[in-house]
Chain A
Amino acid sequence: MLFAVPLGITLAISFGTVDELGNAIYGWNPGNYADVFDPLFGPVLLRSVAYATATVVLCILIGYPIAYYITQFGGRYKYALLGLVVIPFLVNYLIRIYAWVALLSDEGLVNGVLKDVGLTTNGVGFLNTSYTVIGGLVYGYLAFMILPIFAALDRMDSSVIEAGKDLYGTPWQTFRHVTWPSTFQGVLAGSVLVFLPAVGDFVSAQLLGGTNTFMIGNLIQQQFFGAGNWPFGAALTTVMMGFLLIFMVFYLRSAARAATEARA
């Protein structure tokens, strides 16, 4: 209940207009939605999805080997290693992004070292690129990928990998036909958990990027602070929520299924 009412109001306002003072008033103005898909904002929407997708792919590529190594070879230090891996992600997201700003900015540490070594005189402009924004997102949400994969790999009976070897599978074949399929659910759960917050994120693009890396979150934030077209902001939020709802329903269904299986 506490959750549905605010969302309903957002939906209602998304159809509204603004009065001359800039206050939101209710009404029927589907034009807000036409604006969302305006060619002006199209690139922003596409960019958000592209950045989030790239983040998910990178998280799998980084997170899977990490989780794999820890579960298979961590031995008695398994949980200690997992703790070490997860600790940075307990730090406030804002501070973590800030840490990269402090490292990569023009007056930052990396540029300082590069200048001292003599590799550059004017400094390298690291910030304001797609790479830094996506990097920030990966650094922000990687834990959501590592933990489900860790859980899936931990549940898997590692003697099936033994069996794969005994049946003359190469490491790659064994991974493809044995390990990957049996942990795929974990990868899927992790992908949704990373994708959802990454699409809506505006901190990484704001602090590590610039106007040409803006995502839908930045656009929404602008509507509510500054530019000030609240109904348009609400329409943007509704469109994003509708798009993400597909992934949420998918995740909740698989979560519910896992729960019933665990009970049986």
Chain B
Amino acid sequence: MTAARGQALRLPFSRRGTAGRETRPKEFDRPRFLKWFLVAFLVFTLAPIAIVALFSLNSSKSLQHFDGFSLQWYQDFLNDQQLRESLFASLEIATVTMVVATLLGSTLAYGLVRSRTRFSGATNVLMLIPLVTPEIVAGVSALLLFTQLGMQLSLATIMIAQVTFSISYVTVIVRARLSGLGREVEEAAMDLGATRLQTLRLITLPGLWPAIVAAALLVFALSFDDFVLSFFTTGTSPQPLPVRIYSSIRFGVTPTINAIGTLMMLISVTTIVLAIALPRLVGRREDRTPLLGGEV
């Protein structure tokens, strides 16, 4: 009975199934329009950036006609003392933020993973709050905090604000790697007579360093690129590069901005690509930088 019913169910399915396979709409297997959509998308997203880079090499001042290659706008940029100061200010901020945030964030990650207290679950979620807060809110509250404390706005205030918000990135990345490492190896080391410090130095850190370096590079790029937070916490001089660019764009487009923009693109894209590629090159495939999926 059951066999007969199974037969009855299966027969028409398989018969019509083969027929259906031939008449199945073609777009199921390789929708052509999606391919062209992707191509159009790539053109639209890449072209504006490519054009900025191209016109930064333009020999004339025109933004409409390309009249041959020259490096004069880069020279202009480097000869402008204010802009040069801004570039160094940005590099300084990014470096300090990177070092401090990486140290604090990695320590925090280690503490969160290796001391399983009741709070670590809640802290895991709390760590994400700065990542989803709109930057302008962070900027306004940082500005108000500094002025209420009577602090003079300067490069230092930018660094403090950026460190606060970069710690989260470091912690999320390092924590993901640390959870993947497993505690057993550390316990084995301690069973073999290693002290806690020796275990940390010889076992944990070598396993963690790709994640730590990746996090540091990412923080450097984010900090170097940051505009909103810097905008709210910057003093008058020297201002970081993005803030300086913003005020000049408001007064119009110039070829020098093309040059600065291209330079900034090169710096941030290289660091982020390195940050993403590094753990993949040295680590196992599973440890992807977790932030990119927009999930925990």
Contacts and interface: CB of A to CB of B under 8 A. Distances in A.
B49 A96 contact: yes
Interface in A199-256: 199-203, 206-207, 217, 220-221, 224, 230, 233-234, 237, 240-241, 244, 248, 251-252, 255-256
Contact of B293 (A10, A147, A230, A241): A147
A217 B17 CA distance: 57
Contact of B48 (A86, A99, A107, A202): A99
Given A3-B130, A92-B225, A99 B261 contact: yes
A141 to B, nearest CB: 11
Interface stretch (B1-9, B193-201, B263-271): B263-271
Interface string B254-277: 000110010011001100110000
From DSSP, what is the main secondary structure of chain B's interface residues?
A: helix
B24 interface: yes
A139 interface: yes
Given A3-B129, A86-B292, 13 more contacts: A3-B130, A92-B225, A96-B48, A99-B51, A101-B249, A111-B64, A148-B295, A165-B24, A171-B25, A207-B249, A251-B132, A252-B125, A252-B132
Q: What range describes how many residues of A lie at the interface?
A: 35 or more
Given A148-B293, A193-B132, A220-B136, A102 B253 contact: yes
A14 B65 CA distance: 50
B48 A147 contact: no
Interface string B119-147: 00000110011101111111011111101
A151 interface: yes
Contacts of A113: 64
Contact of B51 (A109, A165, A166): A109
B203 interface: no
Contacts of A264: none
A234 B42 contact: no
Contacts of A192: 132
